[in-house]
Amino acid sequence: MNKIEALKNLLLKTRKATEEICAPLEVEDYVPQPMEDVSPPKWHLAHSTWFFEQFVLVPNDPDYRIFSPDFAYLFNSYYNNAGDRVLRPNRGLMSRPPVREVIAYRQYVTEALLKFMDKSDLSSEILAVITLGVNHEQQHQELLVYDIKYILGNQPTFPIYGDSFSLQKEKMERTFIQFKEGIYAIGASEDDFCFDNECGQHKVFLHDFQIADTLVTNGEYMEFMAAGGYGDFNLWLAEGWDYILKEKIQAPFYWHQQDEKWFQYTFQGFREVEKELPVAHLSFYEALAFATWKGMRLPTEFEWEVAADRLNWGQLWEWTYSAYHPYPGFKKAPGALGEYNGKFMINQNVLRGASVATPKGHSRKTYRNFFPASSRWLFSGIRLAK
Ligand code: AVJ
Ligand code: FE
């Protein structure tokens, strides 16, 4: 199969997978935005489509006719180079266009892309933007999972989504794997697709370190809670302490206490917390307070990358104690696509690994995910280091 046929297959598979994630939803579930970080599923379906329309078809395909002149305003996320848009907190106000029109938009753009890709004169630059569009849609598949969980998991009835995206029990004994101090190569080699934020291989000096081969479990986290972890300011960063007081946080997100027992909302419904599962839905602040209570710390993103081949990873994104900053030699693309990652390189922490909600093949050991330290609705967990 040639390169273009392979990309067409991947595109089609990715477009279908996005719609499959939404299949268990009722039409009413596609619209609400219960908090600013959460986008309506309908918005994700349209925005991931607009990305291809705006950055592949409009600039490159003279035969393409725009589906609707309103959609750039409605479904542009944050690209100042692509013009004005509905502000993020207002995404849930759009009961129009209806879901069926967004589905039609998806089909229209997918078909136009496949036709466009049959033209013989596609440059490697255009193929790179289509590949970026596929990876972008995969990122939105994962965000869809977070957002669907938030939409369903904050309703009084705790509706069931289904068996997908469930966590597996961690191995019960933990080993700390040792690494020697030295100079290590960090970053993607750029032979295969990588995001701009992980490119620019460079060297980093690391001291001796040890890193856990398992994630922290619910059982261990309940010990921290029972020991008064949420009440001991000595375990917390000042910002984290202020945050848990202000938000009245006493447990991971989606946890609820009933008759001395802890329950959590999962995609399979409201269930008693299982001790052997990895603890999830924590802010960076909580992850760090737990590590501090253990007399340990969180790995840096560089330690994580050096250790990755010897770790079991992929259930939950792992908070690192590394700021999301550009690598040496970071190059920002000109124009709108330069806004993709670079402008967010401030006040966020890097997470490494992948989660059960990450599409297969999307992540890799050099992949840099990033969220503000207070984020809890993502599928995040804790790996200890020392
Ligand atoms: C990498 C998950 C932080 O949520 O904005 C989606 C992914 N980038 N569209 C985000 C993304 C552009 C990004 N995260
Ligand atoms: Fe996006």
**Which ligand has the shortest distance to the CA of 77?**
2
How confident is the model at residue 116, as a pLDDT? 98
Cβ proximity of 133 and 55 under 8 Å: yes
- What's the pLDDT at 190? 81
Pocket of ligand 1 (CB under 6 A): 136, 139-140, 143, 369-371
- At 227 the pLDDT is 98
* pLDDT averaged per 10 residues in sequence order, the chain, 386 residues: 93 98 98 98 99 98 98 98 98 98 98 95 95 98 99 98 98 96 96 95 98 98 98 98 98 97 98 98 99 99 98 98 97 96 98 98 98 98 99
Distance CA 255, CA 265 (A): 7
Cα of 207 from ligand 2 centre, angstroms: 37
Ligand 1 atom index nearest CA of 47: 9
Q: Per DSSP, what are the bridge partners of residue 178?
A: 210
Q: Which of 139, 198, 301 to mutate to test the pocket of ligand 1 (most atoms within 8 A of CB)?
A: 139
Ligand 1 pocket check: which of 75, 141, 143, 366 to mutate, most ligand atoms within 8 Å of Cβ? 143
Structural domains of the chain sorted by starting position, each given as residue range(s) with its CATH number in brackets: 3-154 (1.20.120), 176-385 (3.90.1580.10)
Cis peptide before 97 (omega within 30 of 0): yes
Predicted pLDDT at 10? 98
Q: Are strands 369-371 and 380-381 parallel, antiparallel or unpaired?
A: unpaired
Q: Is 224 exposed, middle or buried (0-12, 13-18, 19+ CB in 10 A)?
A: buried
| 335-349 pLDDT per residue, tens | 999 999 999 999 999
The letter for the amino acid at 381 is G
- How high is the pLDDT of residue 195? 98
What string of DSSP letters covers 55-87? IIIHHH-TT---S-TTHHHHH--S-GGG-----
Atom of ligand 1 nearest to the CA of 371: 3
Q: What is the pLDDT of residue 191?
A: 87
CB atoms within 10 A of CB 220: 20
Three-class DSSP category at 236: coil
Say what the pLDDT of residue 375 is: 98
Q: How many residues does the chain have?
A: 386
Asked whether the whole model's pTM tops 0.80, one would answer yes
